[in-house]
Amino acid sequence: MRNHYWTCSKFADWLRGTPKPQAETSAGWARWNRMARAAHPVRYWLADEGLDYLQKIFYWPTDTLYAIKYYVNNRWVTRTHALTAHPRDIPRGEWRDVGNRFLPCLFNELRDFVEVELAWWHIAWEGREVRAKYQAPFYAAGWFRWRTWRCPQAGLDNLEWQMSLTQDWLDDDHPDRNHSSPQADRAREILALYKWWTEVYPNRADPYEVSGWSAYCEQKREKGTLFFDEDDDKPEAERVDTKPMLDQINEMQARYEQEDEDMMIRLIRVRNSLWT
């Protein structure tokens, strides 16, 4: 991705004879292209296609180096061909069944999207003051970007900015002009999912602790009566004592499983918005 295109320069506007808009809707761009091509067909081709060919030839050496750098980055650093879990969620070398990999792998990717991708987006086209605010190193943006800089606050600030976007492209008298934009709505959902994974999920109560089962087992262990050869050998009074604990464990685990499934479904629904 270039940070400057010759076809968008002042020289291109002069050569074309029709200035290119700074921003437009898809319908607006279509109208402008038809108008500019009809006004000066040859000049339009020179400005919008001829200059593009020349820029590709001029930048071929640096573009080639850039492509090599990004291949190395994507293949061995960010590993964009794979979904991976952080060691805090799946320790390296430990076995996890496929079904148990989905949740941490998907939400670790969401976390990286916010803390790495959106953090980069938030400073990519800003000046030194903004980069200094987030203490961004030289490899955080620009040609030397290596996709390893992580800044949760920059990512959250980017989501906050996105959530403030309104439908300002609508006509002034349109009733939805000042309403929240679809991009803002998606940003709110991404933030909710991110906060669930980073704040709610890791702090959920342990069913074995809450139910008292852990304390009960510890007492049995100290007395040397924790294990029975057969469950049928367990005294009736003990069955009465342990049933509420086991029922609470089953209820909490079922609730957590349902919550995990619901959040994964929400993440899948917002997947097409996870790009920068």
Read off the pLDDT of residues 37-52 as tens digits, 9 standing for 90 and up.
999 999 999 999 999 9
95 three-state secondary structure: coil
Buried b (16+ CB within 10 A) or exposed e, 259-274: eeeebeeebeebeeee
Give the pLDDT of residue 143. Answer: 75
The 8-class DSSP code of residue 180 comes to B
- pLDDT at position 229: 45
Q: According to the model, what pLDDT value does residue 177 have? A: 82
Q: Which helix (H) or strand (E) holds 10?
A: helix 10-16
**For residues 209 and 246, what is the distance between their CA atoms, to the nearest angstrom?**
11
Cα 219 from Cα 213, distance rounded (Å): 10
The reported pLDDT for the residue numbered 69 is: 83
Query: What is the rounded distance in angstroms from the CA atom of residue 77 to the CA atom of residue 244?
Result: 49
- Say which residue the tokens 């800003």 belong to: 126
Residue 119: predicted pLDDT: 97
Dihedrals φ, ψ of 164, to 5°? -90, -5
Average pLDDT over the chain, rounded to an integer: 90
Distance (Å, whole) CA 32 – CA 124: 28
Alpha helices, H only, 18-125: 26-39, 41-45, 51-58, 60-72, 98-112, 119-123
| Contact between residue 156 and residue 187 where contact means Cβ atoms under 8 Å apart | no
- pLDDT on residue 221: 84
Conformation bin of residue 150: beta by default, left when phi > 0, alpha when psi is -120 to 50 = beta
Chain centre distance of CA 86: 15
In the chain, which stretches have pLDDT less than 50? 229-230
Predicted local confidence at residue 227, as pLDDT: 58
Dump pLDDT digits (tens) for 156-209: 999 999 999 998 878 878 888 888 999 999 999 999 999 999 999 999 999 999
User: Would you give the distance in Å from CA 88 to the centre of its chain?
Assistant: 19
